[in-house]
Each structure stands twice: as structure tokens, then as C-alpha cells.
Structure 1
């Protein structure tokens, strides 16, 4: 049963990431996933439940990517490598997932049910970034972590919209090094 649910969620991400939030219907997800009609609604009774399920699934996938990519950094170069790799994946092989995340964030921005989950996911990235900056001796690790995440979001939006081939590493390197200046 979980495999069917995961197929539905992966299909939902593909639909939203490639066609936008209007494409997210139970019937379209069933078709995209190659599931019998009504399968998705067995897991997610309403569209809101489906949206929430997709956001949680995306967060789980991204958290797995984060944990795989980000061990303890020993040097600023390690942080640059990790962030560059994550941003490259988010705007390359996982671009549809990233577009789906952003589209669903915007769609649910006013929803009090979604906010805590979105903030919890962001705090994982912020915590890791802060820990790396502390380890490297950053004078203001909290501000540095927030700045690096804001820069990362900007790179993602830029690459997913107007500049898909924009270089990542030089900007990440500049921002990481700036966060380490006393």
C-alpha cells in the first residue's frame, strides 16, 4: 500500500512541477501514476489533504538529500561544495520537485495548516548551515545562515525561471566567505 501512496505522491510532484498547481487533481494523479481510478483519493480524501501530503513528501525527499549531502564541514570549501551540490540538484535533476515545492508554497501561503510544516523544513536547513558556520568560526552564524539560505532561494528562483545555466559555485563561495568575515 505504501508503494501505491508513494507512486501517487511522486506523480503529483511531477504534475505540479511540470504543469502547475491547476494540474493537481486526484484523477490526474491516478492517471500519471498508472493507478486505478480513485486510488489517490483513498489516501488523500480532499485536495487540501493531497496538497499537504505532497508538501510532506517533498520535505521528506529533500531532508534525505540534505542528510546525504551534508556531513560536518571541515572547511569553508566543504560548505561551498555541499551547498553548490544541493542547489545544482534542486535546479537540475530535481527541478520539477523544486518547482512543485515553490508552487505549493505560494498556493498555501495563507493556510495556517501548512505554515508550521514549511517552517520546520526550513529550520533543518538553517540549523545545518548555522552549525557549519559556528564550526568555521563565523562571527554571526545566525545572520550568516539566514543570508546563505536567502541567497540559495534566489539562485533557485533565478535558475528555474530566467537563467537555467547561471553558475552556482561563484555566488555560493562569495556568500560563504562573506559569512566568515569578522
Structure 2
């Protein structure tokens, strides 16, 4: 059974993902989570603390998804498959969470982002760098950053103006562009 804190955080993620950052208030989180008034503020005394808590919660959930997906990929097609699946999830079943992450990123400065968010980014970048190095990329660090930038663009595009954009063909071109001919 989820704790009161977890229920509040999950409700906060949904609120921001579905209604935007302005919906993130202690009272609205309590109502959305079905908690007694004041419950969320017991865990997060200020709005800044609530924002930080939500970012950490999103990072924890996304890290679990990433770890599950980070199986070794030995071919370019396997890398394309893994990245496509991650992007499909981020813009499909986890779209509200992804919208919340982007909205809260824009609300905070890079320096204010919880270390778990930066650590997660580094972990995913290292994993992607390793995959591309194993596939023979001449500059695997740059290639990994390129794929992450393309992935971010796909996410924003699908969450805003083109929800039906096919992901796999774009990821395939990007992955193959990072590898020797």
C-alpha cells in the first residue's frame, strides 16, 4: 500500500502533467490524492519543497523504467528498438509524467534541480555512450548527446503538435548517423 507521501507525490505528478504547474498546490494535491487537508504540507512545507519532491519522484519512476530497458543491445537495430520503446512510453502511457517533468524543469533552474535528476541524466548518457562505443561510434560521447537531443525533440514534438509522429524511423536515422558507414 502506498504511503501518504507517495500518494501525494503521485497525485502531484498527475496534476502537473494534466493541468500544468499552476495546478500544483498543497490543497489540490490533497484533494487529488484523496488525503485529508494539510497532508501534503506535512511532508512538503513549501511549494519549492513540493516541486523538488515531485521532481525526485519523477526521477525515481523514470530511473526504474530506464533500468528495466537498459538491457545490453548488441546491434544498431536493438539500440533503435530500446530507444523507440522508451520514447513510446514517455509519450504514451507515461505522457502525463513526461509533461510534468518538462513543466517542472522549466519552473526551476538547473542548479535547483535535485541531484537525482542530474544523476539519472548522467546514467542514461553513460549507458547510451557505452552502447554506441560498442557499436563502433567514432565519438561515442558526442553521439550519445546527439541521440539524447533527438529524443528530447521527439518527446516535445509528440507531446505538443504531432502526437502521431512515428518514432522508430527517426530514431533509426539518428542511431545510424552516429555510427560509421
TM over 0.5: yes
Q: Deviations over 1:119-146 (max 9, x none)?
A: 3221121111001111111111001000
**Equivalence for 1:35:** 35
**Equivalence for 1:150:** 149
Counterpart Cα distance in 1 of 2:114 and 2:42: 25
Counterpart Cα distance in 2 of 1:76 and 1:143: 17
**Equivalence for 1:98:** 98
Counterpart Cα distance in 2 of 1:146 and 1:133: 11
**Equivalence for 1:15:** 15
Contact 2:52 2:114 survives alignment (8 Å): no
Contact 1:109 1:115 survives alignment (8 Å): no
TM-score, normalised on structure 1? 0.95
Number of residue equivalences: 181
**Equivalence for 1:173:** 172
**Equivalence for 1:62:** 62
TM-score, normalised on structure 2? 0.96
Structure 2: state its 5+ residue gaps. none
- Secondary structure of the 2:3 match is helix
Counterpart Cα distance in 1 of 2:59 and 2:139: 27
**Equivalence for 1:3:** 3
Structure 1: state its 5+ residue gaps. none
Counterpart Cα distance in 2 of 1:90 and 1:25: 25
**Equivalence for 1:135:** 134
**Structure 1 runs (4+) greater than 3 angstroms displaced:** 115-118
Q: Deviations over 1:71-119 (max 9, x none)?
A: 1111111110100000000000000000000000000026x33264433
Contact 1:80 1:176 survives alignment (8 Å): yes
Counterpart Cα distance in 2 of 1:37 and 1:115: 27
The question of 1:123 aligning with 2:157 is answered no
